[in-house]
Amino acid sequence: MTGDMFITFGILAVFFAIIVAILYATFRQDKTFTGYAVGGRSFKAIYIAMSYTNSWWPGTTFIAYFGLTAAFGVIGWYALLYTLLGVPAMYLMARRAWKWGQKFDLRTQPDMLGLRFDSKHVKVVASLIGVISLFPWIVLGLQAMGTIFRWASLNELSITTALIIGIATIAIRQIWTVQMGMRGLVITDLVQGFVAYVGAGIICIGLLVFFFNGASEIGSLSGEFYELPGYGSALGGWYFAAITFTGIIGALCWPTSYQRIYTARDVRSVKRGTLLTLPIAGIFYVLLTLVAMAAATMPAVADDPQNGWFILLQEAGGTVLLGLGILVVFAASMGWIDGCVQVCGTQIANDVVAQYRPSATWARSASPRSRWSPSWWRGRSSPG
């Protein structure tokens, strides 16, 4: 291992060790499945905000979204638009969703749908749809982990080897995710969120001010970078509206985001957490997208926009800045994949297995018949 690789891998190893140390320092054995699934409904607004953000912007944001903007310009802003329109849905759903969750011991989004429609089958189907929908994103997250370790090796590792190391790292991390459940996940999301999004924001500001001379390079981009696909284009005039609308719909039913409602200690924490999420997620993405547009003026980034974040940092600040840039992607990726694994595991156990194996000890408390009466819904829209 060269001296430069020692720096990049050392940064990742130290951060991983810190996360594990935090998990052990804050570990508390949950005595119920509800405690395991939603952290005992005990978290304040700042935890909800960072956990929500970590479930919103995966590590692939620094690869796919950065690359989209560096290659095609303003179309990359669609993700900011659907974020600003989609995230407030959590605020609007907070009161009823959280109160229903508290009153009827709901743990997942399918749990709520099963309650609402008085149907075990709706619950099972909703759970399977959520898990299937998350699977492609988990694959993208694992691909991002491969990219992280390839750049950490300064491109010495092959794509296959880097991907295997990345998957192995995430697999090791799941030891604590499975053992500690949502409580450990939300606590580490706070740390990972600050590193990933606040840290990336600071890096972006430094790049815009010192490397891109106040982002003046953006003005030199060709006019096509400021154009959205029109009716005569290959993508069609409705393309931008379609991807934005799809993102908004996804925000309303995203399993990892919705479950954050149930981890809050009260309705106020959910609402405050949502209000904090908007500036954290929004400012982060604005800064990252401005950097991507500025980086589009660099020939190396224009030739390989998907790796533009890493190319830019290596050229701007050498190995140390590259190592820090790799770290923020690592923090975002680890939080994202952990969240997906935890939610998928909880939904399969709570919403699928427990419906057909109610005799299991943990499944008894997960059984909807033991937690709520369908008659509650008749003629009533709120738990009060």
Q: Which domains does the chain have, with CATH numbers?
A: 3-374 (1.10.4160)
Which candidate, 282, 246, 293, places its Cα nearest to that of 67? 293
What separation, in Å, do the N-terminal and C-terminal C-alpha atoms of the chain show?
62
Which tokens is 84 given?
């600003």
Q: Which pLDDT band, with edges at 50, 70 and 90, does 1 fall under? A: low
Residue ranges with strand state E in 32-176: none
372 pLDDT exceeds 50?
no
> What are 183-215's pLDDT values in tens digits?
888 999 999 999 999 999 999 999 999 999 877
Rounded Cα gap, residues 192 and 339, in angstroms: 12
Q: Are 354 and 366 in contact (CB under 8 A)?
A: yes
Per-residue pLDDT band for 378 (boundaries 50, 70, 90) equals very low
pLDDT of 259 reads: 87
Strands (E), the chain: none
Q: What is the pLDDT of residues 169-183, one digit of tens each?
A: 999 998 888 888 888
More confident residue, 138 or 220: 138
Residue 377 has pLDDT above 50, yes or no: no
- What is the structure's pLDDT at 363? 52
| Chain position carrying tokens 């589009």 | 296
**Rg (alpha carbons) of the chain, rounded to whole number:** 22
The pLDDT of residue 269 is 94
pLDDT of residue 358: 66
Q: What is the pLDDT of residues 52-83, one digit of tens each?
A: 999 899 999 999 999 999 999 999 999 999 99
> Average of pLDDT values for 144-151?
95
What would the two tokens of residue 76 be?
Answer: 């990359």
Residue with tokens 């069609």: 236
Angle, to 10 degrees, between the axis of helix 120-152 and the axis of helix 159-193? 110
Phi/psi region, residue 367 (left: phi>0; alpha: psi -120 to 50; beta: rest), is beta
- What does the angle CA 320 – CA 24 – CA 337 come to, to the nearest 5 degrees? 60
Can you give the pTM of this predicted structure?
A: 0.89
Does residue 361 register a pLDDT over 60? Answer: no
**Percent of the chain at pLDDT above 90?**
56
Cβ contacts of residue 143 below 8 Å, gap of 6+?
Answer: 60, 163
At residue 360, the pLDDT reads: 55
User: What are the backbone dihedrals phi and psi of residue 24, each rounded to the nearest 5 degrees, phi first?
Assistant: -70, -35
- Judged against a pLDDT cut of 90, whether residue 19 lies above it is answered with yes
Which amino acid is residue 297, in one-letter code?
Answer: T
In this prediction, residue 359 carries a pLDDT of 59
Average confidence score pLDDT of the chain: 88
Q: What is the largest CA-CA distance in the chain?
A: 70
Q: Which two three-digit tokens encode residue 382?
A: 């709120």
Q: Is the pLDDT of residue 30 over 90?
A: no
Q: How far apart are CA 346 and CA 131, in angstroms?
A: 10
Neighbouring C-beta atoms of residue 196, cutoff 10 Å: 30
Tell me how far apart the alpha carbons of residues 189 and 36 are, in angstroms, rounded to a whole number. Answer: 16
Of 85 and 204, more confident: 204
| Cα 168 from Cα 172, distance rounded (Å) | 6
Query: Is the pLDDT assigned to residue 305 strictly greater than 60?
Result: yes
Of 143-147, 182-186, 234-238, least confident by mean pLDDT is 234-238
